[in-house]
């Protein structure tokens, strides 16, 4: 985000990415509390979903209804949901000066649909259409080995603390391992935007690391812009 945008009182956009069972929801809630404590207005949202139209598309995607139409169609549906989410929820919040914490965003399409074989140039075009210039200021990638993530999802489902695994969570360890590598490659290619956190640490340690980065990269930058 440019200094002009900060000076105009625009909020910050922070996305969380990672494989299944990385612990994104826990950390989003912890960051929300910390920001709230620092006097910041925060909107927490998620993808696919985050607006009424996008939540309708979410049910189709996660229920597996689109799977039989192929990965390109799935990528287009994720993009359609994202376009509505950006227009209806994210952009208005940022314009109000709120911070937006989003559970998954365009990087998930790059990784999940890219891994499923969708062409990169096609994904570039879809992303440009869907995000319309609305890009994260910071992306937190919580990295855990595929087998650990899979075990965490299974444990959540068996205790009833989460719904049954969705269409993407049921894929095998090889697929989840390839997604993990793709996330790490994406992060390495854009170090100025990504913070990669080791999700094998305790939740408290992960929280501290995220808070340090948010304070250093976004809160301090904002204070300096106002000075």
Say whether residue 104 binds ligand TMP (CB under 6 A).
yes
Among 13, 99, 168, 183, binds ligand TMP (CB under 6 A): 168
> Applying CB under 6 A, does 78 fall inside the site for ligand TMP?
yes
CB of 85 to ligand TMP, least distance (A): 10
194 part of the interface to ligand TMP, by CB under 6 A: no
Using the minimum distance from each CB to ligand TMP, give the nearer residue, 99 or 105. 105
Closest CB 167 distance from ligand TMP, rounded Å: 7
Question: What is the phi/psi pair of residue 119, to 5°?
Answer: -60, 140
Binding of ligand TMP by 108 (CB under 6 A): yes
Among 109, 126, 209, 210, binds ligand TMP (CB under 6 A): 109
Residues 16-35 that bind ligand TMP (CB under 6 A): 20
User: Which of 84, 127, 169, 207 touches ligand TMP (CB under 6 A)?
Assistant: 169
Provide the minimum distance between the beta carbon of 225 and ligand TMP in the complex, in angstroms, as a whole number: 31
């Amino acid at each position: 985000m440019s200094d002009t945008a900060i000076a105009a009182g625009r909020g910050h956009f922070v996305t969380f990415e990672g494989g299944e069972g990385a612990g994104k929801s826990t950390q989003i809630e912890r960051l929300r509390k910390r920001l709230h404590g620092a006097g910041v207005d925060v909107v927490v949202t998620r993808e696919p979903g985050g607006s009424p139209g996008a939540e309708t598309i979410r049910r189709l995607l996660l229920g597996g209804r689109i799977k039989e139409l192929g990965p390109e169609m799935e990528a287009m549906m994720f993009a359609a949901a994202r376009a509505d989410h950006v227009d209806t929820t994210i952009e208005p919040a940022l314009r109000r000066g709120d911070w937006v914490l989003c559970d998954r965003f365009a990087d998930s399409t790059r990784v999940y649909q890219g891994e499923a074989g969708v062409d990169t140039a096609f994904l570039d075009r879809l992303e440009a259409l869907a995000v319309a210039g609305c890009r994260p200021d910071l992306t937190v990638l919580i990295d855990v080995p595929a087998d650990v993530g899979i075990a965490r999802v299974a444990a959540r489902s068996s205790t009833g603390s989460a719904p049954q695994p969705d269409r993407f969570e049921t894929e095998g360890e090889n697929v989840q391992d390839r997604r993990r590598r793709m996330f790490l490659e994406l992060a390495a290619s854009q170090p100025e935007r990504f913070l990669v956190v080791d999700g094998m640490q305790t939740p408290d340690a992960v929280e501290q690391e995220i808070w340090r980065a948010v304070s250093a990269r976004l809160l301090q930058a904002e204070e300096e812009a106002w000075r």
